[in-house]
Amino acid sequence: MIKESLVKTLSDQVNAEYYSAYLYLAMSAHADRAGFKGIANWLFVQAREEMAHGTHMYQHILERGGTPVFADIKVPPASFGNIKEVFEKVLSHERMVTERIHKIATLAQQEQDHATYAFITWYVNEQVEEEVAAEELVAKASLVADNPGLLYNLDTALAARTFIDPFAGNAG
């Protein structure tokens, strides 16, 4: 049976993962309207991953005998600036998420909830990947600057990203 303190913090994180999905959908729409279909695709896939993260966490709460706590999902911004600024916002958002995940890991340790600690380790590792990916995109967008040809190439490259359910084949 999972402790209430962890039900609360994991439920908050389910909400935060769905907010992340909302944020990336809003960024995707912003990129799409600006004509960057490939960048919009990358952000759309990112949004789907965030929904998978939130859903997987929700399932963990239920599996452990907890009752997930629901709350309003915050409205994301509607405008994000140029492409470099979009990716800078992705990076700063992911850094914030990393801090949240680390706090959950710390709480699981304090509560000696080894099952939640083992569960959240996947997210700790995932955040390393998320930050690396976002840092690379910020670096690429900086190199590209406002060069339309290079921006077009970056957009084309990001059109190739496809959604892979990170938890496919994993009943948990």
Footprint of Fe ion (CB under 5 A): 17, 50, 53, 130
Report d(CA 91, CA 127) in Å as an integer.
11
User: Are 20 and 140 within 8 A, CB to CB?
Assistant: no
71: left (phi over 0), alpha (psi -120 to 50) or beta: beta
Nearer to Fe ion, 102 or 152 (CB): 102
CB of 126 to Fe ion, least distance (A): 7
Nearer to Fe ion, 99 or 146 (CB): 99
Nearer to Fe ion, 113 or 130 (CB): 130
CB of 159 to Fe ion, least distance (A): 20
CB of 170 to Fe ion, least distance (A): 16
Q: How far is CA 25 from CA 74, 101, 119, 131, 142, in A?
A: 13, 21, 26, 19, 23
CB of 130 to Fe ion, least distance (A): 4
Q: How far is CA 145 from CA 79, 97, 120, 137, 166, in A?
A: 19, 27, 37, 12, 32
Residue of closest CB approach to Fe ion? 53
Nearer to Fe ion, 19 or 151 (CB): 19
